[in-house]
């Protein structure tokens, strides 16, 4: 299938690159010329607008910063749905809210466009290596057509249910991931304050049931190494926590840790952490408690 990709940021560029490497006929668009130029040099075609891109392909992937951009790019005048033909596919890879994904699915269905959401799991480094996981929300009839294309960008597709279920699963997933940012940080800072050796503490916490994938894979190469360049920017983490808390509110479910973590992420942003990786919460928590940074 002729494929289009809109949104070539940190994750989008990596995913689109793998489509090209795996022989997909790809057309790309982004507001920034740089990533488009690089992909065109690798064999992609360039589209001047999202509507032009949509009109020329069979399936469109969108990877956008958040709900506002998704609505503008997909539902807005001259947007993706203004260009897609009936029977073509729209796959939303972004992390957005439940109301937006439902609006996208409903509008696409009215126009005869097959909609799926497939938010991305795992880290940016996995996307670079083509090892992403996709949480797919799609009708059974569309799953077989989309899975082979998704597997050209990653290694795992988990079918979560009908359209919209992928986004809901991603919000649950990221709720846990981002709450672990705070839990990891509290534990490591307390260990430092109690005089425990950072390396010994790390060995214990990653060797017991206290362990989690973030602590094992991300912390030792990011904040504990002193590298705070954003694989997952704290501003985006705050956005995802906000989305999860909003989803809980809509469902009349109390989410105290989620709301607390969201407030703490906001405090860290006010303390100047925007533009840093979410693991910078460990540094923020250390600073807030008058402790030195925790490093391996």
- What are the residue numbers of the active site? 170
Counting beta carbons within 10 angstroms of the beta carbon of residue 149, is it exposed (0 to 12), middle (13 to 18) or buried (19 or more)? buried
Measured CA distances, 34 to 24, 30, 40, 193 (Å): 21, 9, 10, 46
Count other C-beta atoms under 10 Å from residue 68's C-beta: 12
Contact 15, 30 (CB under 8 A): no
d(CA 115, CA 137): 9
Pairing state of beta strands 59-62 and 89-92? Answer: parallel
With a CB cutoff of 8 Å and minimum separation 6, the contacts of 87 are: 112, 113, 114
The answer for 43, left when phi > 0, alpha when psi is -120 to 50, beta otherwise, is left
d(CA 30, CA 41): 15
Q: Say what the alpha-carbon torsion angle 81, 84, 87, 91 is, to the nearest 10 degrees.
A: -60
d(CA 264, CA 113): 40
Q: Supply the DSSP symbol for 225.
A: G
User: Which residues in 103-257 belong to E strands, given as ranges?
Assistant: 114-117, 120-121, 132-137, 154-161
d(CA 186, CA 144): 44
């Amino acid at each position: 299938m002729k494929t289009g990709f809109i949104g070539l940021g940190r994750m989008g560029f990596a995913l689109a690159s793998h489509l090209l490497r795996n022989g997909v006929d790809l057309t790309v668009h982004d507001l920034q010329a740089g990533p488009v130029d690089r992909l065109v040099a690798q064999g992609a075609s360039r589209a001047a607008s999202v509507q032009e891109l949509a009109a020329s392909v069979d399936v469109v992937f969108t990877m956008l910063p958040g709900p506002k951009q998704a609505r503008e790019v997909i539902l807005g005048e001259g947007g993706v749905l203004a260009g897609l033909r009936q029977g073509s596919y729209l796959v939303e890879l972004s992390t957005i809210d439940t109301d937006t994904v439902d609006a996208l699915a409903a509008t696409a269905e009215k126009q005869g466009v097959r909609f799926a959401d497939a938010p991305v799991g795992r880290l940016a480094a996995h996307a670079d290596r083509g090892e992403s996981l996709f949480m797919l929300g799609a009708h059974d009839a569309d799953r077989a057509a989309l899975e082979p294309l998704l597997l050209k960008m990653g290694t795992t597709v988990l079918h979560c249910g009908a359209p919209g279920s992928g986004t809901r699963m991603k919000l649950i997933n990221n709720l846990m991931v981002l709450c672990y940012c705070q839990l990891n940080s509290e534990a490591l800072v307390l260990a430092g304050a109690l005089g425990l050796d950072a390396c010994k503490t790390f060995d214990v916490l990653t060797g017991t049931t206290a362990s989690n994938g973030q602590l094992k894979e991300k912390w030792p190469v990011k904040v504990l190494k002193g590298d705070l360049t954003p694989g997952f920017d704290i501003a985006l983490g705050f956005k995802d926590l906000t989305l999860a808390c909003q989803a809980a509110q809509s469902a009349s479910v109390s989410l105290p840790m989620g709301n607390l973590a969201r407030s703490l992420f906001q405090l860290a942003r006010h303390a100047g952490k925007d533009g840093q990786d979410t693991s910078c919460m460990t540094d923020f928590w250390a600073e807030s408690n008058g402790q030195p940074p925790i490093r391996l």
